[in-house]
Chains A and B, each alone.
Chain A
C-alpha cells in the first residue's frame, strides 16, 4: 500500500494524542497534547480504541479476558462474593497499560456504558469520553502509571502495607472527588468509621457495601511495582485479590516473568475463578504491519499523515528489530518526525538508519557507568 505524502504535516502521524479538554471545542491544536509514547486509554479518549493495534496475540488475550475475566452481570450483583483481579504481565514496553485500559473499555462497553451517548455532544477526535455515574476508574498511579506515587509515603519509602493503604486512600479520594453522592454517603458518621477500619481489607469490604448500595462498579488500575522479592510479590497479589470485593475490579500490571507461576502457586482453584492473568508476549512477524495500518488509518482520519513504504511494513527482525511495541512506537514516531521535518517517506532505509543511531546511542549510554549519587527521589 502506497499513500501520497501531503506537503505539510501538522502532527506526527505516530504521535499519540493524550486528551482533549473540553470536548466541545474543535481547536485540536491547542487542546490535544501529542506524545511520542503514551498509554492508549480508549475508555477515556475518543479515538484511542482505533489506535489500539491487536498485535501479538492480543486478540486471543481479549477473548480470554471476555471469557474468564470479570462478568459484567455479576459486578453489581449483591449476591456475588467477590470482585475480580486482572493481572497483566509482560516485558517493559509490551503495552500492558494500554491493554488494561482496553480491557476496561471493553468491560465498560459490555456494561453498556457507551450505549447512550449524549445526543448533543457528537464524538469528536480525542475528546474525553463521558462515563455513566455507575462506573468509576481509579488510576491510582496517574495517567503514566508511575509507581513512585505509591512507593513513598510521607517522604519515606513505604512498606507493602503502606502501599496498600495508599492505594485505598487514592481510591477513596477519587471516588469522593468525582461524585457528591458517594462523598455524602462515605462521609456520613456511620460510614466514616467503617472506612477507617483497622485493616485495609476490611475497609475495602465496607467500600464494597457502599458500592453495592449505589450499584456502582469501580476499576482500580495499579501500576507495575517491582518488589524485587518473590514473597512480597505474592503477598501483594494476595492483597489485591482480597481487596477485589464485589463491585471492585483490580487491574494489576507486572513485568515479572514468573507471574504465571506465582499466580498458580498462590491461589486456589476457587480463588482463581476471580483472577485472570493476561500475558503479553513478544512481537510477531506481522505485528508491524498491523501497527502501521492502525496508526495510519487513524492518522488519515484525524490528522495529516506520513507515507510508509511497503518494505517498512515488514519490519520485525528480518529488517528492523523493534523488540516491543513501545520501541516500535518510538521508532516510527522518530522516523516520522524526521520525515515531517525533512520530507520524504518512511522506508526501510530510514528505519534502519534510525535504529542504528539508536543502538549506538544506547551502546554509548550502556558504557557509561552510572554516577552513584543516590538519594530519595
Chain B
C-alpha cells in the first residue's frame, strides 16, 4: 500500500465547509474532545492584533475598540478565538462574547452573555468588585464617624484604611462596629448610581451582597423577570431587548472600568445587524456606539468582527473610534503551511501504522545541492497528496481565503479518493475540478432564467439571438439592443481557470463583435470562478469586467453592469450620432439649395413670362408658323388681350413677384421662398395652359388654312376640310369650357374684396370686373368667331396674305351649320397635338 493510499484511507482531514465560531461558554475541562488541535497560521494581522491586546493588558486603563475586518472566510472568527485565548491567559478578566448578533438580543443575553453567572470564579470576582465599592462606602462612613465622634478604642481610621486597601470585609466591619447597614446600603446605592449612571442597576447591585437578595439579583441580571422584592424596589422589567442588554454591558463596563480592572467584550459577525429591520438596526447601532464610547472611556477592550462592505455602513463616529485590523489572504507559503498542518496528523497516523518514522528520503549531507533538493522534496512530501503546484493554484484561485482554501482542499481530497488510480496526486487539474464542483452550484439554465428575468424586469430590449448573430448562436446567450445600432452581448460561461478558456472566450467575443453591425459591448457572466490570474486578460478582451453569478445579488449587479455598458455604448456612439446628424443636415441643406434653385428657375421663368406679356401666360404678339388672315388674326389678338386682362391680377399677386419681400427682410439680401399657394399655382397653370391652348388653336387654324386649296383652279375646301375646321374649333371650344377661367375671375374678385379706403378704387374695381366679363366672353366665343372668320377667309378669299379658298361661309356644307356629331371634336392640349375625344357633346354656338 502506498503512502497516499494510507492518507486517503485515514479519512478527509478537511472539514467540508469550515466555519469557526466563538461559542459562549468557556470550557477548560476539555472532556470528551481529546487533545485540542491547534491549527494556526501566523499572519501579520494576527501579530498586530495580538500586540494591541497585550498592550491593553499592560495598561488596561486605556480602553480601546478594535475592528477585525475581512471578507467572509478570511479567518476573523478564528483569529478572534486566538485573541480570546490570549485574553484568558491574562488572569481571566471578565469576558463577554456575542457569537453573531441576532435580533433577539434578550436570548443572546440570557443564554450566552450571562454565562458569567455560571462561571463561579467570574461570579465571585464580580461580587468582590461590588464588595470593593462597599468597602469604599463603609470606609467613608467610618471616616465620617471619626470626624463627628472620636471615641477611643475603636480604631476607625485604621479600619477605614484597611477597607480602602481591601484588607477588611466591609460587611463584617459594619457588623462588628454596629454600623447602620441601611445607611451604608443607601450610600452604596448612591455611589453605584454615580458609577453606573443607572439607578435600577445601582439598586440591584447594592442588594447583590445581601444574602437574602443575592440569588434574585443574579436571576434578574441573568435576564429573568424581577421577583417581587426587586419590584418593590423599583426594578420592574427584565433585561430584555437591545437597549437593556447594552445598558447591562455598559454597567459592567462602568463597574470594572471604575475599579481599573480589564474587561473584554467580543462580538462576532456584527454585520448581521445590518440585515435587521430599520428600527432595530438603528437602535442596535446607537446602543453599540454608546457602548464603544463607554469601553474606550472606561478602560475596556471591545473587539468586533465585520466584513469590509458592512463596515462602510457603520456610522462615521464608529470608524473614528475603532482601530481597524484588516485581514489579508494567505500567501502561497502560508497556504502550504495551513495544508501541511491539516495533513500532518494523518500522515503521522499513517507513519505510525506503517511503522515508519520518516516518510521523506534521507538527506545526503555531503552535497548541498542534493540537500536542497532533498529539502524541497521533503517539503513537497509534507504536502502530500497535494502537489506544490496544486497548493499554489489553490491559493491563487481562492485569493488566499482560508475557508475556501480548506473547503477546496476537502473537495480535492474527495475527488482524489474517487480515482481508481491509487497513486493519484492532487494536482492542478483536480483542483480545477474541485473548484468547478464548489463554485458552479447552479445550472446554466438557472442562470439563463435569472438573466432573462432581470432583463425583463429592467425592460431591456432583447433580441432573438439566432437572428441577430451570424456566428454560432449558442456563443451569445442574450442580445440587448441599445439605441439604433448598438448592442450588448451577454455570454454565460463556466469557471474560467485556464488560458485555453480565455482564448476560446476571445474567439467568441471577436465573432460576436464582427457578427453584427454597429457597436457591441460584451458582458461575460461567469457561473463559477474566474482565476484572478486570468481576470485581467478577460477584461482586456471583453473590455468589461466579468460578472460572477451568485444567489445573493446577481440580478442587481447584472442590471448595474448593463446600465453602465449601455451608458458606455451611448457615449461611444455620440460621435457616430454627430456624424449622422451632420450628414443629415448636409443632405437637408442640399435639398434646400436645390429647391431654392428650382424656385429661382421658376422665378426667372415667371420673369420671362412677365417680360413677354407682362403677365403670366401672355401670348407673343405673333405665333410663329401661325400666320393668319387679318380677320382671323384679329380674333386671336382679341382673345389674347382678353387673357391678358384676366391674368393681370395674377401677375401682380402677392409672392409671385421676384422682387417681393419677406417680412422685415430687405429684398435681395437673402434667398427667400416665394409664397405660392395651391390656388395660385392652379391659376397660373390654367392661365399658362390657356395661352398655350390659344397658340395651339391658332396654329391649327393656320395649318387648316394652308391645307385648303385656294387657287383659281383649285376645287376649294372639301367636306373633309370643313369637318376638320369644325373639329378644330369645337375642340377648342369644349376645352375652354373645362378650363378654370371662372376660378381666375373668382380669384381676381377676391383680391379686390380686400379692404380699401376710397371710392375711386371701388369704381376701378367695378370697371375691371366688367372688362373681365367681356374678356371671358371673348374667350368663350372665340371658337365660333374663328370658325366663321376661317370660312369667310376660304370662301371669300379673305385669307389675305395667306391666301384663301374662296368659299364663303354659306358654302361650308353641313359642317358649317351643325354641331359636332359623329366625328368627334378633339380636346386641345397645350402641347400642340390633339386627342380625338369620342362621344363629346355640346355644340359650337
A binds B: yes
Could you tell me the dominant secondary structure of chain B's interface residues? Answer: helix
**Given A366-B176, A367-B167, A368-B172, A157–B229 Cβ distance below 8 Å?**
yes
Query: Using an 8 Å CB-CB cutoff, how does the interface string of B60-92 with A read, 1 for contact, 0 for none?
Result: 000000000000000000000000000000000
Given contacts A157-B216, A367-B167, contact A377 B211 (CB under 8 A): yes
A258 to B180, CA, bound (A): 10
Interface contact B215-A376, CB-CB below 8 Å: yes
Q: Give the Cβ gap from B158 to chain A, nearest Cβ, in Å.
A: 10
Partner of A372, one of B128, B176, B183, B185: B128
Q: Which residues of A contact B233 (CB under 8 A)?
A: 229, 231-232
Which residues of A, 321-377, contact B by the 8 Å Cβ criterion?
321, 323-324, 362, 365-370, 372, 374-377
Nearest A residue to B125 by beta-carbon distance? A372
A317-B152, A377-B212 given; A369·B228 CB < 8 A = no
Contact yes or no, B182 A228, CB < 8 A: yes
Chain A: interface secondary structure? loop
Shortest Cβ gap from A154 to chain B (Å): 11
B residues in contact with A377, CB < 8 Å = 211-212
Q: Which of A131-139, A158-166, A238-246 contacts B (4 or more CB under 8 A)?
A: A158-166
Kindly list chain B residues whose C-beta atoms are within 8 Å of the C-beta of A323.
178
| B198-233 residues at the A interface, CB under 8 angstroms | 203, 206-207, 210-216, 227-229, 231-233
Is the pair A375, B169 in contact by a Cβ cutoff of 8 Å? no
B207 / chain A contacts, CB cutoff of 8 Å: 228
* B529 sits at the interface (CB 8 A): no
Q: Which residues of B contact A156 (CB under 8 A)?
A: 227
Q: How far is the CA of A377 from the CA of B180 in the complex (A)?
A: 22
Residue numbers in A under 8 Å from B168 (CB-CB): 366-367
- Within 272-331 of A, Cβ neighbours of B (below 8 Å) are at 317, 321, 323-324
The reply to whether B214 and A374 contact each other, CB–CB distance below 8 Å, is: yes
Q: A159-B231, A365-B176 are in contact. List 19 more A-B contacts (CB 8 A).
A: A91-B178, A91-B180, A148-B212, A151-B212, A156-B227, A159-B232, A226-B181, A226-B182, A228-B207, A255-B182, A257-B183, A317-B153, A362-B176, A366-B162, A366-B176, A367-B162, A369-B131, A370-B131, A370-B171
Say yes or no for A256: interface residue by CB 8 A criterion. Answer: yes
- Chain A residues with Cβ under 8 A from B172's Cβ? 365-366, 368, 370
Given A365-B176, A375-B215; A232-B232 close (CB under 8 Å): yes
Chain A contacts of B214 at CB under 8 A?
Answer: 374-375
Q: Is B127 an interface residue (CB 8 A)?
A: yes
**CB-defined contacts of A227 to chain B, threshold 8 Å:** 182
Q: Smallest CB–CB gap between A20 and chain B, Å? A: 32
* A-B CB contact pairs (8 Å), 18 listed: A92-B178, A157-B229, A158-B229, A159-B231, A162-B228, A226-B185, A232-B233, A233-B182, A255-B180, A257-B182, A362-B176, A366-B172, A366-B173, A367-B169, A372-B123, A374-B215, A376-B212, A377-B212
B residues sitting closer than 8 Å to A (CB atoms) are: 123-124, 127-128, 131, 151-154, 159, 162, 166-169, 171-173, 175-176, 178, 180-183, 185-186, 203, 206-207, 210-216, 227-229, 231-233
A93 at the B interface (CB under 8 A): yes
Q: Which one of B166, B168, B228 has the highest number of Cβ atoms from chain A below 10 Å of its Cβ? A: B228
Q: Cβ of A184 < 8 Å from any Cβ of B? A: no
- Residues of A close to B203: CB separation below 8 A: 229
For A161, the chain B residues whose CB sits under 8 A away are 228
With a cutoff of 8 Å between Cβ atoms, the chain B residues found around residue A257 in the complex are 180, 182-183
When the two chains form their complex, are residues A255 and B181 in contact, meaning their CB atoms are under 8 A apart? yes
Assuming the contacts A157-B212, A228-B210, A229-B233, asked whether A372 and B228 have C-beta atoms less than 8 A apart, the reply is: no
Contacts of B178 in A (CB 8 A): 91-93, 323-324
Does A317 contact B212, Cβ atoms closer than 8 Å? no
> Do A157 and B180 have beta carbons less than 8 Å apart?
no
On chain A, the residues within 8 Å of B176 by CB distance are 362, 365-366
Complex formed: what's the CA distance from A258 to B211 in Å?
A: 23
Task: From B151, B171, B182, B206, give the contact of A317 (CB < 8 A).
Answer: B151
Q: How far is the CA of A324 from the CA of B175 in the complex (A)?
A: 13
Closest 10 CB pairs of A and B: A159-B228, A374-B214, A228-B185, A257-B180, A372-B124, A321-B153, A92-B178, A372-B127, A366-B172, A366-B168
Cβ of A149 under 8 Å from chain B:
no
Known A157-B229, A159-B232; judge A374-B211 contact (CB<8 A): yes
Separation of A319 and B228 alpha carbons in the complex (Å):
49
Contact between A321 and B152, CB atoms less than 8 A apart: yes
Given A91-B180, A324-B178, A229-B232 contact (CB < 8 Å):
yes
Known: A317-B153, A369-B128, A372-B127. A256 touches B228 (CB 8 A): no
User: How far does the alpha carbon of A161 sit from the alpha carbon of B211 in the complex, in Å?
Assistant: 20
Q: Which residues of B contact A372 (CB under 8 A)?
A: 123-124, 127-128
CB-CB under 8 A from B131, the residues of chain A are 369-370
Q: How far is the CB of A55 from chain B (nearest CB, A)?
A: 16
Query: How many Å from the CB of B647 to the closest CB on chain A?
Result: 121
Q: Are A321 and B151 in contact (CB under 8 A)?
A: yes
In the assembled complex, A230 has its CB within 8 A of some CB on chain B = yes
Residues of B with C-beta under 8 A to A362: 176
Q: Which residues of B contact A91 (CB under 8 A)?
A: 178, 180
Q: How far, in angstroms, from A66 to B219 measured CA to CA in the complex?
A: 48
Q: How far does the alpha carbon of A228 sit from the alpha carbon of B187 in the complex, in Å?
A: 10
Say whether A158 contacts B180, CB under 8 Å.
no
Question: Are A157 and B124 in contact, CB atoms less than 8 angstroms apart?
Answer: no
The residue that A159 contacts in the complex, of B152, B167, B171, B229, with Cβ under 8 A, is B229
Residues of A within 8 Å of B229, CB to CB, are 157-159
- Asked if A369 and B212 make an inter-chain contact with CB atoms under 8 angstroms apart, the answer reads no
Given A226-B182, A317-B151, the answer on whether A370 and B169 have CB atoms closer than 8 Å is yes
Q: Which residue of A lies closest to B186 (CB)?
A: A230
Contact A368 B169 (CB under 8 A): yes
Residues of B near A93 (CB, < 8 A) are 178
**Residue contact A369 to B211, C-beta cutoff 8 Å:** no
